[in-house]
Structure 1
Amino acid sequence: MSDPLTEVVRLLQPQAVFANPISGKGDWAVRYSEYGKPSFCIMLEGSCLLAVDGHEPFTLSAGDFVLLAATPPFTISSFGPAPCIHLDPKTMTEGAEERRYGEQRGAPDMRSLGGAFLFDNADPQLLISLLPGVVHVQNSMRLAQLVRMVGEEYMDQKPGSEFMLSRLIGMMLVEAMRSVTTGSAPPGLLRGLGDERLAPALKKMHAQVGHAWTVAELAQAAALSRSAFFDRFTRTVGVAPMEYLLSWRTEIAKDLLRRERLSVSEVAERVGYGSTSTFSVAFSRHVGQSPSRYAASGSGPG
């Protein structure tokens, strides 16, 4: 049976578009302006304070992983007061040279790796729509192991590091998404996967995206009455079952058109439409342009 989280990561194909080692000693503070796209922070050593606009400040400790889905303005700092340095993440470039804040000499109190995701032409809104504004994963032995490996790969820059980092970042993304299936996610796929009744139905939809699903069939998979399933799905996932299926079929279709270079008729058949014209109308309504134009442009709007 298809795993929905694997499918999401496969569609996004995450890579670390840039990452910078950051260290601090003594009292220091750095204020980043809005970035607007998914970014992450990996704590390698020590601890610091993270204050994301619109959220309560919290402590980051070694082994922690933070994912900011849309990256609003935020401040990262020591625990003591300090003058704030202002930076624009959109003008920062990748580099293995460590950015040092506070006291310039001596062993740092904290070391971290901060970066942003590149999703291989995919629309990052797919990820942003799945996650809460701030994902903070802590006390995870599995994640701590990944954090250590990312730090080693990034600092050593051995042959094959780019490939290794892209895979490790993808694994961290899955761990982050797993961590929010327990109820902290906004209405959507992740919250649905955290619901023991809805999860089997969602997995069936993803496993056979081209099947002519009915609400009755999905309700049976969830062991719920048709009306109870419809209400629970709509409340938990945020849209009605058939609307969700349409949305996911569109994401699959976008991938097939862009990456697989299939014809419009082949894609229509693959994602469960009886005719090319019906598929084209549904795709155009959802994406804002026809399948053929989307395929020719190489990516969607934005």
Structure 2
Amino acid sequence: MDLLHDYLVRARASGAVFARSVARPPWGLTLPGSIQLSLHTVLRGHAWVWLDDPAAAERLLPGDLAIVVGGRDHHIADEPAPDRCLDHERFWAANTGAGAGADDPRAAVFLCGAYRLAGDVGRSLLQALPPMLVIRPSAHDQVHDVISLISRELTQPAPGQQTVLDRLLDVLLVLVLRASYQHSPTAPRWYRAAEDPRLARALQAMHEEPARTWSVPELAQLSTMSRASFARNFERALGQTPMQYLTDWRLTLAREYLLADELTLEQIARRTGYSSPNAFAATFRRHVGLPPGRWRQEIAG
């Protein structure tokens, strides 16, 4: 099992290309912080992207990619000038598609995509990202290749085009998360730990079989380490003991099951390794602060 794949599947990551824009200067737009994760790439010309401070704007050239985590509005423009920025609805009404200006050499052509990630798993993936990240791939980088494919796909309408764009955006998200986590000090500790093939075997086992009654000696054997060496290396890499990690992962899954509201407490308890609903509820309340049913009511509203 690939841990990043497991997290993305459980986060129910879903994305879509929501605008291809052709804009002649002067132009600018503001995108709302309600978008959980935005991806922007320039296909022709340039664009500046920033959060609160225009002085900290980053310039995007063709092939560059910016990702922005939701929470705050962000801005894209031909110059880092807030007074040029329209709200996204007014901007796209005038600048999406081929439109006027498509043949103007001064016009920028850029693509915006959006992602939604659900639940605690999605939140943990987003929290590990910086508020804004700009990736400048080399000509032979996979990110550059995918952006080139998107650009070519958008040159003219074709059957199934939206499906192709959505799947390419899926690939782009995985590549972006990889690039971000590889270079970011805020990368999830499980991502770093999984780079050690010995620890990866133990992590994968817990993810594949969370209901199993795992013990440290069993996990150490899977990792081909002594019990003491495994426990020491695991805690150094992840900041918690193997059993603490297993409990946290089980409770993460339990919260996902509770929000989906498709299983009984007994079924959730069984899937997350607890002998009874009472044992599960006691652990849940001790770690989360509320009984499972009440937690679900408060979160679901």
AA paired with 1:261? E
> Quick one: distance in 1 between partners of 2:131 and 2:91?
24
Q: CA, structure 1 residues 272+123, in 2 after alignment: closer, same or farther (shift >3 Å)?
A: closer
How many residue pairs get matched?
295
Secondary structure of 2:84 counterpart: strand
More helix by share: 2
Residue 5 of structure 1: how far off its partner (Å)? 1.1
Q: Which residue of 1 aligns with 2:270?
A: 269
CA distance in 1, matches of 2:87, 2:219: 47
Structure 2 unaligned regions, length at least 5: none
CA contact (8 A) 1:31 1:87 kept: yes
Q: TM-score, normalised on structure 2?
A: 0.73
Mapped to 1, the partners of 2:118 and 2:156 lie a distance apart of 25
The letter of the residue matching 1:50 is V
The percent of aligned pairs where both chains have the same amino acid is 26
1:267 Cα deviation from its structure 2 partner = 2.4
What's 2:212 paired with?
211
> Residue type matched to 2:14 in 1?
Q
User: How many Å separate the matches in 1 of 2:35 and 2:195?
Assistant: 27
Task: Determine the C-alpha separation between the residues in 2 that align with 1:15 and 1:95.
Answer: 24
What corresponds to 2:76 in structure 1?
76
2:143 is aligned with 1:143? yes
Worse overlay, 121-130 or 219-228: 219-228
Match of 2:18 in 1: 19
Residue 200 of structure 1 corresponds to which residue in structure 2?
Answer: 201
CA distance in 2 between partners of 1:223 and 1:264 (Å): 36
Equivalent residue for 2:132? 134
Q: Can you list the C-alpha shifts for 1:248-278, whole angstroms capped at 9, x where unaligned?
A: 2233334445558233222222222222212
- Whose radius of gyration is greater, 1 or 2? 2
Letter in 1 for 2:64: D
- Uncovered stretches (5+) of structure 1, i.e. residues with no partner: none
Query: Residues 161-240 of structure 1: matches in 2 within 5 Å?
Result: 161-186=161-186, 187-195=188-196, 198-222=199-223, 229-230=230-231, 232-234=233-235, 236-240=237-241
Secondary structure in 1 aligned to 2:39? strand
TM-score under structure 1 length normalisation: 0.73
Shift of 1:10: 1.0
CA contact (8 A) 1:27 1:81 kept: no
CA–CA distance in structure 2, aligned partners of residues 16 and 243 of structure 1: 33
Aligned residue type for 1:111:
V
Partner in structure 1 of residue 282 of structure 2: 281
- Secondary structure of the 1:178 match is helix
Q: CA deviation at 1:180?
A: 3.3
Evaluate the alpha carbon distance shift between residue 185 and residue 213 of structure 1 in structure 2; reply closer, same or farther with a 3 A threshold.
farther
State the distance in 2 between where 1:16 and 1:208 align: 29
- RMSD in angstroms over aligned alpha carbons? 4.1
Report the equivalent of 2:112: 114
* Structure 1 residues 69 and 198, CA gap change in structure 2 (3 angstroms): farther
Paired amino acid for 1:129: Q
Farther-moved stretch of structure 1 (254-263 vs 240-249): 254-263
Distance in 1 of aligned mates of 2:205 and 2:261: 23
Instruction: Return the alpha-carbon distance in structure 2 between the equivalents of residues 149 and 212 of structure 1.
Output: 46
